[in-house]
Amino acid sequence: MFKTDRYTEFIQLGSIVDILYIGKELRKTIQLVPAAEAQPFHGKLNIACPLCQALLGKVTGDSVDFSTPTGTHRILIESVTTPSEEPIPA
């Protein structure tokens, strides 16, 4: 199960993040994972990639600029969920 607090949940290793590419109206869901677990075509991105580095420590509602070899991009963080081993109380 997932435990979320959309107002104070900081993006960290393991976070699942819904993002919107501003100006392109493209939405994606990604998860920040260690390099050994990365599967970019399944939305699991290496925490060392430029996008993940720009997202670390941010929260829902933040906008972030990041650079790649193809140029600079701006995204809006629409939601953050961090998987937890703690069960959600019923």
CATH of the domain at 36: 3.10.50.30
- Length, in residues, of the chain: 90
- Residue 69 lies in domain: 2-83
Q: Does 55 reside within a domain? A: yes
Q: Quick one: tokens of 19? A: 């993002």
pLDDT of residue 7: 54
Over residues 12-36, mean pLDDT: 95
Read off the amino acid at residue 3.
Answer: K
41-64 confidence digits (pLDDT tens):
999 999 999 999 999 999 999 999
pTM: 0.81
Whether the CB-CB separation of 52 and 64 falls below 8 Å is answered with no
Report pLDDT for 40.
95
Query: Is 88 part of any domain?
Result: no
Q: What is the Rg, in whole angstroms, of the alpha carbon atoms belonging to the chain? A: 13
Percent of the chain with pLDDT over 90: 71
Report how many domains make up the chain.
1
